[in-house]
Amino acid sequence: MRSLKVLILEPNPFQLMALHQMLNAIGIYNVLTAPTLASALVSLGHRGAVDIAICDPQLKGGDGLALIRHLVAQRQAHGLILLGPVAAGLLADLERSLQGHEPILLGRLHTPVSAVLMRGLLDAYLASRDVPVIA
């Protein structure tokens, strides 16, 4: 797979590690992991924009939504994958606010995350960007 830079915002250490390992198994090694919004913002500040951000928009304390707003305002991600169940009203609001802007909403994944579904979203992202995939 093409070298993608991915940011994961996930406060649960086990889930964060599982997602990181899943991306590595798919062939993505440039993975920024963040257990908090503050650490995600520091990573983005030091390492720059990412291809894809992965987060739960309904994290306690609003960290997920705050990250998404930051990514939109600062144009620091091209794609977004939502984790976990998302309330219908919130999803509609997110889809409306992201329409025509980056990051583009690639899809939603429920936990535990399926590697097959994750790979499908990543492949769709690469196809939409017309980037060759390295097997």
Find all residues with CB under 8 Å of 45, minimum gap 6, and list them: none
| 50 neighbors 32 (Cβ within 8 angstroms) | yes
Q: For the domain with range 5-128, which CATH number is right: 3.40.50.2300, 3.40.50.800, 3.30.565.10, 3.20.20.100?
A: 3.40.50.2300
Place 134 in a pLDDT band, splitting at 50, 70 and 90: low
**What confidence tens digit (pLDDT) does each residue in 115-132 have?**
999 999 999 999 888 755
Which pLDDT score is estimated for 128? 83
Q: Is the pLDDT of residue 1 over 60?
A: no
Q: Is the pLDDT of residue 94 over 60?
A: yes
| 77 neighbors 102 (Cβ within 8 angstroms) | yes
Which pLDDT score is estimated for 101? 83
**What confidence tens digit (pLDDT) does each residue in 2-12 have?**
689 999 999 99
**What confidence tens digit (pLDDT) does each residue in 9-32 have?**
999 999 999 999 999 999 999 999
DSSP 125: H
